[in-house]
Structure 1
């Protein structure tokens, strides 16, 4: 008697099973993409069919001083115009209450209510003048 078995998953491997051979220029380009910050290094590795370990090995290889070329190279630079920062919102100045006093000395605003004693007003004015 023959028994029937249901297959849930089938993987088909094509080719000779050899690893792809990457040129040094292609490796450098892939490593540069992994440092771009647009996607994770693991996502870059997946896109190229690499294991993350292989990509990190390439990154380490190209960081070593022996891997540096003798020729000077230019790094890509992006220049963006500087946007002026918006000025902070101006505070609305309040109008003094009826019978009150508003003093402004060197940018310092002091409001004295109508119920303040003359002694307090003189002391406030003296303190403001002393700060000048």
Structure 2
């Protein structure tokens, strides 16, 4: 198998396309005939070198934070559901809730 050499301009163009909001890195890679792993490696290298800066939500980078998790058990010792507090909103679900529904609820509360 031949190794291809990509110019700095070609890499930059592919990375710009891959970093666009909503872009699928694998689809971008296929379009240009490169493996997704290679695009991820180029991105990682560019981020580490400071050539590109990845920002989250809006114009300023935001640090990720984690909420404390407390598991409350009933007298029987098993959990019967889940309670998620996001700001002043509380989501209470049973243990049979579909993960996709829970994900949609969390996203809705966070965006409100």
Question: TM-score when scaled to structure 2?
Answer: 0.41
Which structure has the larger Rg over C-alpha atoms?
1
